[in-house]
Structure 1
Amino acid sequence: MKLKWLFLALSLICLLVLVPATALAVSVWDLGGQVWYDTNQNGTQEAGEPGVSGVYVDLFPNSDCTGSSVDNDTTDANGFYLFPNLAGVGYYCLEFSNIPVGWVITPQ
């Protein structure tokens, strides 16, 4: 049986927040992306490859997804998820669950 592939796209959007001249600039990040069916298994989302709704995404404040998550989201009808206003320092790790049965996450 040919395995179906599920591709996770992550994107980081870095926003710089400026404060009064007497204070330091504070970096704030949004971390988000889209989960979609990669029907041709090439690791790139193309026309006709729909998003996947209902996938759970947990955010951890480290690089290996250990300990307790600090936030969570569920992909919307188009497969998008977002964690806004994160501190722009340190590491974050995302853990995906509630993946449709028979599907796998690609490493790309």
Structure 2
Amino acid sequence: MRKIAEERRKEKLEDIRAKQRVRERIERDKAERALKIRLLDGTQLTQSFKSREQLAAVRLFVQLKQQDEAGNFNLMTSFPRKVFSEEDMEKPLQELGLVPSAVLFVCKK
């Protein structure tokens, strides 16, 4: 009986460890699924922003990373297709539906 009880305890402990590993992997995946930005030349930028930050913060981030096309671009999503306007730049990412993660494309004006 003691051997059986010990085996069950070991199995439960292993199950708990496996669940913890899965939770940790999910957290890493969430962090990796942050905001991804695809530039005009096809390269990708990945950056995390707070949900309350304005879309203008993302635009500024892209401007700093992309020196050659500074300011001469729009941000858009592919599905549903939406090109963000100047009015949208003042709205928080959460309000624009870009939370918990999103992929934005940089397109020419």
TM bucket by the smaller chain?
0.3 to 0.5
Bigger radius of gyration: 2
The TM-score normalised by the length of structure 2 is 0.33
TM-score (ref. length: structure 1): 0.34
* Higher-helix-fraction structure: 2
